[in-house]
A and B are shown apart, each in its own frame.
Chain A
Amino acid sequence: MSRLIPNRLQWTFWLGLLPGCLSVSLFAAEVDSSKLPPAAQVKIDFTRDIKPILENSCLRCHGPEKPKSRFRLDSREAALKGGENGVDILPDNSAKSPLILYVARLVPDMEMPPPDKGKPLTQEQISLLRTWIDQGLAWETAAPVSALAFSVSPTLRWTTVSGNEQKFREHYWQREGWNGGLERFDSDEQLSSDSHLHAAGHFLLDDYRLQLALEKNEVGFVHTGWEQYRKYYSDTGGYYPAFAPPASRLGRDLHVDTGRAWIDFGLTLPDWPRMVLGYEYQYRNGEESTLQWGDVVQNGIDRKIAPASQQINEHAHIIKFDLEHAIAGVRIEDSFRGEYYNLNTSRTNSFFLPAIGSTMADSANENYKHFQGANTFRLEKQFSDWLFTSGGYLYSKLSADTTFNVDTLNISGPFPLSEYHAHSQQITLSRESHVLNLNALLGPWEGLNLSGGVLSEWTRQRGFGNVDLDEISPGPPFSPIVVSLLSDLDKASVEESAALRYTRIPFTTLFAEVRLRQESIGQFEEEIGSFEEFLRKTDFSSQLYDLRAGFSTSPWQWVSLSAHYRRSDDSSNYHHTLDEAPIGIPGSGYSAFILGRDLASDEVETKIVLRPLRWLKTTLSYKLLSTDYRTDTEPVGGDISPGGQILAGKYDSHIYSLNTTITPYQRLYLATTFSYQDSTTITANNGSTAIVPYRGDVYSALVSGTYVLSQVSDLFLAYSFSYADFSQGNFGSATAGGLPVGIRYQPHGIQAGLTRRIGKNLITRLQYNYFYYDEPTSGTINNYTAHALFATLTYTFH
């Protein structure tokens, strides 16, 4: 190799080594090596004599990952190379090797293992290490591990569905028919002692992932990859039992492909800041279902149950830069993100307008794009054993513009009587935020830990634009009036958190936490020129507190118990200093109807883990959640509403869960999880027959078991079940009742599989799946039964 180095560089290279060699010699001369135990008079077997010492006392700090002083003891080459203090092992000369002097604790402040990191080596162990060095530092004699390790799992799958195949796809994120490809592949090639290439991923129908990583220790890395998966949507809408048919389907394959591709270049040079520069592209494309259902009219009854969908095309390009470094014990982080985002949506929904007896169609198209830049700078410092602090500052700026066109057309009935068109000119939004965060962690003192933080945010947002609006002209020509929109928002908020832990009670931890938030928003909204023009100026303020206290304990080997109580209250106040609709006439806008809100929640949760026998573990948990929603309202003229505070809604829920793991003997593993939840949501509905309380139960049961048939075969069986009943009966005539959107369903799933190992490198797996779904509250339109067969082969080489 030296021939490749020019003479001048050779000198530089050897001179560079000189201080290290000199330091070893000078340092060794200062230590009295006569105090060393003598070398053992044996022939060293590395695996028998040395490897246990290294594993138990050295590799904790001097392994391949983040080695202390950059000294590694996981290979002969690395051990001889030494670390940042120079050479630590002199072959054939254990008495002068710093490693031996360190483990013999002859060098002050360099005792190895350090006092708090492990027990000192025995005299016998030091003797063995001396002999090992003196005999030439022999290493592992076992066959060397291959530089390449990989596994690949080709699979072939077949699924058949009878019934609503779209619903099946939505529930299980897969489609019926043939599927196949690579369920998983993983390859890791050791290119050299300090660099490797890793590739992993899977390739199945509509579900792909490939990630590559090239890494070299103390130099850098390149990480790149691409992934995409498909989300499926049901094509059914609502259900109205009095109609024939009571529900319908779009008959289209609704799905959205979601994906991202990325590449990151990282620099990890010693003593340099760790830097990563990257680019990421995220996207979503396809047609998704929406809950903007269209009309179905029968016998004079109009209910919005026709299924609907929208096209979505979303792209985000993100530039990333991260920097991390430590200077004088201060850890510095900086993270920049620049994002360009482009969104296009398009949808058409039909609806029936009873007033004119016509079916209308809404066609809405939107384009939105923004650029957002955000930078976070953060510092961390451990001041002492009991004080650790961090602080960060985030600045972000967003600039967005959007266009929105909606055309409501009369597509049936007599000559168009009413249409609505809104074509926006460019609408512009800007937003700027400053966020400051300070945190500290104190302790422990006598078993007490205290942590806390403050997060402050200042945000200013401006939005304005013009819309060409034509609300009444029947059909073409489009006769627009120009409507101006304006919206400003200035927000200031402070959030504080604190947590206390106390651990001095035997086998117990006590904790108490509090989170507070104060927020104020000045908001101005205006719409000029339309028939619904309005002007509103609101000073909003809110206060939140969230308290929690509880304990964890494990007083006996067979039990551990935890419990907490939590109380939160989020109180908001809307002070409307201006409320004009139309402009000039105060007090008639809807928004100004709400004067205040209060959400108060109570939560109790407890969990007990029992392990009465070595082979039996049971976890039981219970959670209670209760929330009251209170709203302050202003009076409405004409004796419509006297105003005042009202309990607008109330939510109560109880969740009971049970998990049991049983391993009665080595061949059998059984696990079951059962969960039951009942919940009720009631709102003040003033006797309306359209709205009924939303209440019901959800049961879930998951059971799985593995039985080892033989040394090469395992049997796997799993069963899942859930049942929910939130059904509602609020339907009737055109002027009574409403739309029963509650749900009752029960799915069953069974998986049975056999795994067989063939030789050292091959595993085969055959699996059968059964799925059944019944939803009486949609008639039978959502029901399905499915069977699936999976055959997978895994070949591993290393």
Chain B
Amino acid sequence: MAPPQIEGATFVGDRVCYDCHTNISRVFPASPHARLRLDHSQMAGQQGCESCHGPASKHVAVGGGRGRFIVNPGHDPEACFSCHLEIQAAFHLPQHHPVLEGKMNCVQCHDPHGMDIMKPAGGLAMSRLNQNCAACHRNQTRRFIFEHEAMREGCTVCHDPHGSINAKMLVQRDSNLCLKCHAQIQGPGAGGIGHLYIGKIDHTDLVRYGTCWSAGCHTAIHGSNVHPRMLY
């Protein structure tokens, strides 16, 4: 890691941070980011809080305070990008959550200090599946009479939450997205090579029209209140 720089400030060590930021500091050893914390590091700034927040001597000297001589990655993703290089690149892809545009920030979805990186401001607690996405995407994560069982495996089975080259931030943009799970296996009665059965229904010609969700068939892909096969 390479900590952000604060002009004129030096590293004080995260014992000092503990005094004021007790609730955050005491759960940090349980955080996934504690994987990177070194008790004794040769490279400067590898010892915890200051790896991401920058050297804190000036912040301490003025008695603390929000944003006073300290980096707040919650407002500016640059500190996160210094390690998560592929995520920075993903946010520059055509379809992305508007983090670079300043309309979202990393800590809306992630807790950098807590036990579960997927539970915002969660402390020593665990997140529930899809809880992050549901905070904004109520339409897609709401309850249905007929649910799509893929939702049990999480939104990220189909969507890349940071950025994607595909509309709706899908991980694939063709029917392979669905066929990964909705497998085909055929016997002699299925018409031979080139015929595509999905379950018990011949889709050979249907899949020529487009993708499973864009060809006008399975339009209610997150779930349906009227149709068990999610046609509406």
* Interface assignment of B225: CB less than 8 Å from any CB of chain A: yes
Whether B214 contacts A292 by the Cβ 8 Å rule is yes
**Shortest Cβ distance from residue B29 to the other chain A in the assembled complex, whole angstroms:** 4
Contact between A431 and B143 (Cβ–Cβ < 8 Å)? Answer: yes
Residues of B within 8 A of A743 (CB): 165-166, 173
Expressed in whole angstroms, the Cα–Cα distance for A638 and B193 within the complex equals 17
Contact B180 A639 (CB under 8 A): no
> Assuming the A-B contacts A341-B138, A640-B187, A686-B195, are A611 and B208 also in contact, with contact meaning beta carbons closer than 8 angstroms in the complex?
no
Q: Are B29 and A441 in contact (CB under 8 A)?
A: yes
Roughly how many angstroms separate A559 CA and B205 CA in the complex, as a whole number? 57
Chain B positions within 8 Å of A661 at CB level: 2
Hey, which chain A residues are within 8 Å of B32, CB to CB?
A: 499, 513
Q: How far apart are B87's CB and chain A's nearest CB, in angstroms?
A: 9
Inter-subunit contact B29/A303 (CB<8 Å)? no
CA distance A246 to B184 in the complex (A): 31
Closest to B98 in A: A173
The answer to whether B126 touches A554, judged by C-beta atoms less than 8 angstroms apart, is no
Which residues of the other chain, A, contact B94 by a CB distance below 8 angstroms? 170-171, 745, 747
**Which of A424, A557, A722 is the one whose CB lies under 8 Å from B93?**
A722
Q: Is B194 a contact of A687 with CB atoms below 8 Å?
A: yes
Known interface pairs A56-B61, A651-B180; A657-B89 also in contact (CB < 8 Å)? yes
| Chain A residues within 8 Å of B36, by CB | 509, 552, 562
What distance in Å separates the Cβ of B157 from its nearest Cβ neighbour in chain A? 8
Q: Which residue of B lies closest to A467 (CB)?
A: B226
Interchain CA distance A352-B62 in the complex, whole Å = 70
- Does A658 lie at the interface of the complex (its beta carbon under 8 Å from any beta carbon of B)? yes
Chain A residues near B145 (CB, 8 Å)? Answer: 427, 429, 463-465, 485, 487
B226: A residues at CB distance < 8 A: 404, 406, 422, 424, 427, 467, 485
Residues on the B chain within 8 Å of A649, using CB: 176, 179-181, 183
Closest CB in chain A relative to B172 CB, distance in Å? 5
- Contact status B128-A435, CB under 8 Å: yes
Which of these, B152, B168, B210, contacts A238 with CB under 8 Å?
Answer: B210
**Cβ of B229: which chain A residues have Cβ within 8 Å of it?**
590
Evaluate whether A640 and B190 lie within 8 angstroms (CB atoms) in the complex, with A444-B29, A560-B41 already known. Answer: yes
Q: A570-B153, A685-B196 are in contact. Are A453 and B138 (CB under 8 A)?
A: no
CB 8 Å contact bits of B66-84 with A (1 = contact, 0 = none): 0000000000000001110
Closest to A619 in B: B85
Tell me which residues across on chain A come within 8 A of B228, comparing CB atoms: 525, 527, 532, 534, 591
Chain B residue with Cβ nearest A511: B35
Contact yes or no, A693 B197, CB < 8 A: no
B107 at the interface (CB under 8 A from A): no
CB distance from B26 to the nearest CB of A (A): 6
Contact across chains for A690 and B35 when beta carbons are under 8 A apart: no
Please give, as numbers and ranges, the residues of chain B lying within 8 Å of A229 by CB-CB distance. 98, 103
Please determine whether A62 and B63 come into contact, CB atoms closer than 8 angstroms. yes
Residues of A within 8 A of B85 (CB): 619, 621, 657-659, 673, 675
Chain A proximity of B217: nearest CB distance (Å): 9
Beyond A487-B145, A509-B36, A685-B184, whether A382 also contacts B26 by CB under 8 A is: yes
Report the separation of the CA atoms of residues A331 and B23 in the bound assembly, to the nearest whole angstrom: 10
B52 within 8 A of A: no
CB distance from B63 to the nearest CB of A (A): 2
Which residues from 150 to 183 on chain B have a C-beta closer than 8 Å to any C-beta of chain A? 152-153, 165-168, 172-177, 179-183
Chain B residues whose CB sits within 8 angstroms of the CB of A427 once the complex forms: 145, 225-226
Asked if B187 and A659 sit within 8 Å, CB to CB, the answer is: no
In the complex, how many angstroms separate the beta carbon of B134 from the nearest chain A beta carbon?
Answer: 11
Q: Are B30 and A499 in contact (CB under 8 A)?
A: yes
| Cα distance, A92 to B101, chains bound together (Å) | 57
For chain A, what secondary structure do more than half of its interface residues adopt (helix, strand, loop), or is it mixed?
Answer: strand
A413 → chain B closest CB, angstroms: 17
CB of A557 within 8 A of CB of B89, answer no
CB contacts (< 8 Å) of A465 on chain B: these are 145, 225
- Look across to chain B and name the residue whose beta carbon is closest to the beta carbon of A56: B61
Query: Known: A527-B228, A642-B187, A677-B86. Is A742-B173 also a contact (CB below 8 A)?
Result: yes
B210 cross-chain contacts in A, Cβ below 8 A = 238, 293, 303-305, 738-739, 741
Q: Among residues 616 to 631 in chain A, which have CB atoms less than 8 Å away from a CB atom of chain B? A: 617, 619, 621, 623, 629, 631
Whether A590 contacts B195 in the complex (CB less than 8 A), given A497-B126, A503-B38, A651-B180, comes out as no
The 0/1 profile, CB within 8 Å of A marked 1, for residues 192-214 of chain B is 01111111110011011111011
Residues 91-114 of B contacting A (Cβ, < 8 Å): 92-94, 98, 101, 103
Interface residues of A in 437-466 (CB under 8 A from B): 437, 439-441, 443-444, 447, 449, 451, 453, 455, 457, 461, 463-465
Distance of B56 from chain A, by nearest CB (Å): 10
Query: Beyond A636-B200, A648-B181, A673-B85, is A351–B43 a contact (Cβ under 8 Å)?
Result: no
Contact assessment for A439 and B143 in the assembled complex, using a CB-CB cutoff below 8 Å:
no
Which residue of the partner chain B has the closest CB to A733? B208
A691 touches B146 (CB 8 A): no
- Chain B residues whose C-beta falls within 8 Å of the C-beta of A521 in the assembled complex: 152
Residues of A within 8 Å of B167, CB to CB, are 234, 289, 291
How many Å lie between the Cα of A679 and that of B167 in the bound state? 17
Q: How far apart are the CA atoms of A296 and B35 in the complex, in Å? A: 54
Chain B residues with CB under 8 Å of A171's CB are 94
CA distance A604 to B210 in the complex (A): 35
Query: Is A737 an interface position by the 8 A CB rule?
Result: yes
> For the complex, what is the distance from the CA of A506 to the CA of B46, rounded to whole Å?
13
List the B side residues contacting A509 at CB < 8 Å.
34-39
Q: List chain B residues, Cβ under 8 A from A440.
A: 124
Which of B65, B83, B183 has the most CB atoms of chain A within a 10 A radius of its CB?
Answer: B183
Residues of B within 8 A of A343 (CB): 138-139, 142
Partner of A686, one of B101, B142, B186, B189: B186
Cβ B232 vs Cβ A404 within 8 A: yes
Instruction: Specify the chain B residue showing the minimal Cβ separation from A663.
Output: B5
Q: How far is the CB of A612 from chain B (nearest CB, A)?
A: 11
A646 touches which of B43, B185, B187, B209 (Cβ 8 Å): B185
B142 touches A368 (CB 8 A): yes
Residues of A within 8 A of B219 (CB): 292, 349, 364
Interface check A380, CB cutoff 8 A: yes
Bound together, the chains give a CA A702 to CA B91 distance in angstroms of 11
| B19 CB contacts on chain A under 8 angstroms | 60-61, 68, 117
Q: State whether B176 touches A698 (Cβ < 8 A).
A: no
Chain B residue numbers with a CB within 8 Å of A55 are: 61-62
The complex places the Cα of A649 from the Cα of B198 at a distance, in Å, of 14
Considering the complex of A and B, which 3 residue pairs feature the smallest CB-CB distances, nearest first?
A: A63-B63, A649-B180, A639-B189
- Pull 23 A–B residue pairs with CB atoms less than 8 Å apart, ordered by A: A63-B62, A292-B213, A295-B216, A304-B215, A331-B23, A429-B145, A437-B126, A439-B124, A507-B38, A519-B152, A590-B198, A621-B86, A640-B190, A640-B197, A641-B186, A642-B187, A648-B181, A685-B196, A686-B195, A688-B196, A702-B89, A726-B165, A728-B174
Q: A441-B26, A741-B173 are in contact. List 19 more A-B contacts (CB 8 A).
A: A68-B19, A292-B219, A343-B138, A362-B216, A439-B30, A441-B27, A441-B115, A449-B30, A501-B37, A554-B42, A555-B42, A631-B182, A633-B185, A633-B199, A639-B187, A649-B181, A657-B89, A682-B176, A683-B180
